[in-house]
C-alpha cells in the first residue's frame, strides 16, 4: 500500500484532531441547547437553519434563544463563550477546510490556504498555536455544559463515556484512559 506523507508532526495531527472533535462537540451542545429552548414538537418544527445544520445560523439561534434569555452568572459565562466561539471560528474553518503546507523557510510552521469570499487567505500555525486553540475549544465546551462551573449543579449528575465504560467493564475503557505504562 502506498501512502502519502502529509508532512505533519504527531503533535500537529493530535491537536488538529482534537480541534475537529471538540468543535463537533461544541456544535452538538449548541444544537441541543437550542432545540431545548425552542421546545419543538418534532424536528419538522425547527427553523430551517437547524434542519440544514448550518452551524453559524444555529449559533445565531442559540445566541437569541439561549444566551440572551439566560440571566445572572449563567448569562455572563454564555456570552463570554459566544464571543470566544466567534473569535475561534475562523481558525477552525481554516484548519478544517484549508489546504495545508509546511513553511520551507520556517519548518516549525504550517500554513493553511483557503479561498474566502473570492480572496486567497493564508493562516500560519505552529504546534503550540494548535495546542492553544485546542485548549480554548475544550474550555469553551466545559463552560457551555457547566456555565455555573459545577457539573453536579447544572443538570443533575454527569457521567462521561470514560467512567461509564469503566463501570460497565466495557473493553473500550482501556482506550479512553491515558496510558501510564509505556509497555501497554
Residue 155: pLDDT band (50, 70, 90) is low
* 106-146 residue pLDDT tens: 889 999 999 888 899 999 999 999 999 999 999 999 999 99
Tens-place pLDDT, residues 20-31: 999 999 999 999
| Residue 34, domain member (yes or no) | yes
Domain annotation covers residue 132: yes
Residue (of 136, 131, 135, 128) closest to 81 by Cα position: 136
End-to-end alpha-carbon separation of the chain, Å?
27
In a domain, 115, yes or no: no
* Whole-prediction pTM: 0.82
- 31 inside domain: yes
What's the domain count of the chain?
1
Range of the domain at 32: 10-96+127-154
Q: Evaluate whether residue 5 is within a structural domain.
A: no
Is residue 89 situated within a structural domain? yes
Examine residue 177 and state whether it is found in any structural domain, yes or no: no
Is there a domain that residue 63 lies in? Answer: yes
Amino acid at each position: 500500500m502506498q501512502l502519502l506523507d502529509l508532512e505533519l508532526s504527531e503533535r500537529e495531527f493530535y491537536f488538529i484532531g482534537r480541534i475537529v472533535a471538540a468543535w463537533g462537540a461544541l456544535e452538538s451542545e449548541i444544537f441541543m441547547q437550542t432545540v431545548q429552548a425552542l421546545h419543538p414538537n418534532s424536528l419538522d418544527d425547527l427553523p430551517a437553519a437547524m434542519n440544514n445544520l448550518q452551524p453559524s445560523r444555529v449559533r445565531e439561534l442559540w445566541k437569541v434563544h439561549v444566551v440572551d434569555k439566560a440571566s445572572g452568572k449563567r448569562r455572563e459565562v454564555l456570552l463570554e463563550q459566544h464571543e470566544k466561539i466567534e473569535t475561534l471560528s475562523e481558525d477552525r474553518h481554516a484548519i478544517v477546510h484549508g489546504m495545508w503546507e509546511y513553511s520551507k523557510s520556517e519548518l516549525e510552521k504550517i500554513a493553511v490556504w483557503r479561498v474566502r469570499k473570492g480572496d486567497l487567505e493564508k493562516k500560519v500555525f505552529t504546534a503550540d498555536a494548535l495546542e492553544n486553540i485546542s485548549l480554548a475549544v475544550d474550555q469553551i465546551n466545559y463552560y457551555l455544559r457547566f456555565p455555573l462551573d459545577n457539573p453536579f449543579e447544572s443538570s443533575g449528575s454527569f457521567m462521561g463515556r470514560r467512567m461509564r465504560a469503566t463501570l460497565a467493564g466495557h473493553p473500550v475503557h482501556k482506550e479512553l484512559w491515558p496510558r501510564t505504562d509505556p509497555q501497554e
